[in-house]
Amino acid sequence: MKGGEDVAGYSKLTTESVNEKTRDIDKKSALEIARAINEEDKTVAFAVERALPEIAKGIETLAETIKNGGGVYYCGAGTSGRLGVLDASECVPTFGVSPETFVGLMAGGTAALYESHETAEDDLYSIADQLKERGFGKKDALVAISASGSANCVKGALMYAKQKGAKTLCVTCNPNSDLVPMCEIPIVAEVGPEVITGSTRMKAGTAQKMMLNMLSTGAMIRCGRVRGNYMAYMIPNNKKLADRAVRMITAKTGCARKRAEEELAKHGGRIYEAMDEIEKDGIEKIE
């Protein structure tokens, strides 16, 4: 950088700019700090709202991918990568899908989930090599996650996905992100400058979490993995979830709790099968 010039162009990214409202946050009390962060967080949902048409396109694309036997691959570095891994891992118990349905890949590999591997973000092949190892192909879809949209690792992943003829999406927080022209469905939530300059684990991370929730949940609903608004394909493998399963069955079918417990056990914990069995029998509703 010469004379303060931004050679890489990062200063043009809103996620890297300075938030004028919080310039003196280091002089605030604890309550004032919390209030300042909360005020900025209030704007996130509105930023996501403006991206709903693109999110809807993403939901349909991911649902189509899964119905056709493909997998959804999230990828990113730092906070973005960890959010992708989190969303992918939670789909297995929530919707009863295989671990290959949603896959989260992290620049720097599994170790980067627990400790910082910042240099992996700049490696063009850090994620592309992982996609290759997993046999990523034309039937799959790639969701590249990067708040700034500048991470080389996701650019490399998108280039690899395009070479394979796969569907490509991105989740970013900059409208002028490099990722936007690189993928079929760019999803952008412009959250503006962070409370702490450049700390995209904050508003940008919250927006990305919200959008990933919508994409995976929406795709699962479109794939029939939800009954009404019940997690009928959830895996009830602890006491709390087993009780939730029974309550879902009674609420959906109107049967007595004992019958719900019996059918759940009979069908090996498969909630949707228990629901179907009870509804097929036309069980008398509880007065």
Q: 64, 90, 100, 184: which is the annotated catalytic residue?
A: 90
Check: CB of residue 23 under 8 Å from CB of residue 159: no
CA–CA separation, 272 vs 225, rounded Å?
9
CA–CA separation, 252 vs 275, rounded Å?
7
- Nearest CA to 16 among 187, 147, 179, 152? 147
Is 262 a known active-site residue?
no
Only one residue has tokens 């979830």, namely 241
Q: 16, 40, 121, 277: which is the annotated catalytic residue?
A: 121
DSSP single-letter state for residue 181: G
Is 121 a known active-site residue?
yes
Distance of CA 207 to the CA centre of its chain: 10
Q: Percent helix, strand and coil across the chain, each rounded to 5?
A: 55, 10, 40
Active site residues: 90, 121
